[in-house]
Amino acid sequence: MKKRSLWLSAVAALSIAIALAGCGTTTYFAGRPLPPSGLQNRVLIAVQNPSPSNRGALEFVDAFYDIRSGYNGKAGAFTISGYTGALPTTIQSMPEEQLGAVYGSGDGSVTLINYAKEATGGGLKGLNGASSSVFITRNQLYTFAASQTAHVLTVLDQTNGGQYALSLPGIYRVSVNPGGSVAFAFVQNSDYFYYARKLTAAQEVAYSGGSAAWPKAAVDCEPQNAPGWCLFQAQSPDATDATGNPYGAPLVLDRPVKALFSADGGTAYVLNCGPECGGSQSSVSLMPVSSMIFLTGQQSGKLPINTAVQANCGTTPNVSTCTLPVPGGSSNALISATTLYVAGQQPQADGLFSGNLTVLSLAGTASSTISSSGPISISDGAPGAPSRMLMGDDNTLWIGMTKCTNGERYAKGLAYGCLTMFNTSTNSVTMLEPYLGDLTGIAAVTGLHKMYVAQGGQVYIYHTTDGSSINNQYVTVTGTAYDVAYMDAHTDANNTVY
């Protein structure tokens, strides 16, 4: 009877497949076309040095069965065809657009990946050497890169084919909002951050006279004889507004390193790294973004920006109340609904650092302050280094660190794994052991209650229900696995980059 049931099931599945094939292109979630591999749950893996003759490859696995080859034996392995980048390091995954952008640190390449075709969709030209941080907007019209060795913010503007190198010594990170209208640049060991703006035709003429003709707080406009873009310091260097009047309480930043953005797009949450980055106090500053929108015709407000958002910061117009102390450290964060999860490293008396998570509730109104809880002890990591954070199924937040053997936990003989699972409903932490090396990538396979991670150069899988590991025997790769992304996620929010 059991064999007969299996046979009937197989016949039924075959009949459905034939029927679908007769109706045209087969689709699955949201009308997406079924890719050549036939897989509906794919995890993309950036692999460095897969062979002595190849410095990079993009492979993907079936995340339903957790195997690299086809379950029916038709394919020995799945790879993205046409990829030639060296040392792929980060995957900016945009599943809503069926697109990924892979940065190769070995050659400074940014390669677009077509998820539907499982093939490369071309590369970006015009970056100024290697980039320590690079983002492309979802509509693929603008790319921003921190060209650290060239000391410039590179802007690729596909609307006019322009390539702009805006001078900014010490630049090392960029943050771009999900809507693709705001781009921030951050400088190492600095208490300022910067933003780029595209110029109107009238501004191009007005600013063409060189730096003397630029607005206050403009750092660079390029090309200088006919500028198309300018880079501004977010706070006026002389603490005055655009008309020369002094600010009553200038916003104080402390080694800002990254920005996140509210759901309505009106507020930027700027992370102040503080002691992790050689500063004094880690915190989060709330800034309005209306004047910092780079799209022409959409900005509002005066330049330069030196005020903070008053909503959620109390009823008294006091800028200092809009910089929220985060004693546990503030080098990375993630927003989920009305909650901001802030991760960072806190200096200890022995000179080492310990990892912490602080939970900030953003649900307050203008008459109530933002509430916080924490710090909550999590994995240690390299101070100021970018960590990985991503929400998963079962009310879980996953946080990955690098260099966790250099922290307080390892020194004191405590559990020191680089991956933390945090339950957002119970505020409880599960440390995943054993230590497997630096954690450099996380992918949430939503709906299947799994998390894929790149850790210590290999791929591992965990249950979101209890943090237990899943057999990874058939997803291991040859070479160094450095990043992972869920290609078939339902939303772009399923991405550790933004």
User: Tens of pLDDT along the chain (498 residues)?
Assistant: 434 443 444 444 434 443 444 344 578 888 888 999 999 999 999 999 999 999 999 999 999 999 987 766 666 679 999 999 999 999 999 999 999 999 999 999 999 999 999 999 989 999 999 999 999 999 999 999 999 999 999 999 999 999 999 999 999 999 999 999 999 999 999 999 999 999 999 999 999 989 999 987 899 999 999 999 999 998 766 655 555 555 545 567 899 999 999 888 888 999 999 999 999 999 998 888 888 899 998 877 665 555 555 444 554 434 444 788 898 999 999 999 889 999 999 999 999 999 999 999 887 543 334 566 779 999 999 999 889 999 999 999 999 999 999 999 999 998 899 999 999 998 889 877 789 999 999 999 999 999 999 999 999 999 999 999 999 999 999 999 999 999 999 999 999 876
- Concatenating the DSSP letter of every residue in 344-371 gives EEEE-TTS-EEEEEEEEE----TTSBPE
Three-class SS of residue 421?
A: strand
In the chain, the N- to C-terminal Cα span, in Å, equals 52
Q: Partners of 153 in the beta sheet?
A: 146, 166
Is residue 199 within 8 A of residue 227, CB to CB? The reply is yes
Of the candidates 48, 50, 46, the one whose C-alpha atom is nearest the C-alpha of residue 58 is 46
For the whole model, what pTM was predicted?
Answer: 0.89
The confidence score (pLDDT) of residue 288 equals 81
The confidence score (pLDDT) of residue 305 equals 59
CB atoms within 10 A of CB 455: 24
Q: How many residues does the chain have?
A: 498
The confidence score (pLDDT) of residue 317 equals 37
The confidence score (pLDDT) of residue 373 equals 73
Q: Which residues, including other chains, have CB under 8 Å from residue 472's CB and lie 6 or more apart?
A: 66, 458, 459, 460, 461
The confidence score (pLDDT) of residue 315 equals 43
List strands edge to edge, sheet with 171-176: 171-176, 183-187, 193-198, 229-233, 218-222
| Domain boundaries of the chain, sorted by first residue | 26-97+106-119+388-498, 178-386
Spatial separation of the C-alpha atoms in residues 338 and 232, rounded to whole Å: 30
Spatial separation of the C-alpha atoms in residues 207 and 226, rounded to whole Å: 8
Residue type for 492, please?
D
DSSP letter at 32?
P
Three-class SS of residue 322?
A: helix
Of the candidates 114, 93, 46, the one whose C-alpha atom is nearest the C-alpha of residue 489 is 93
Q: Which residues, including other chains, have CB under 8 Å from residue 244's CB and lie 6 or more apart?
A: none
Residue type for 209, please?
G
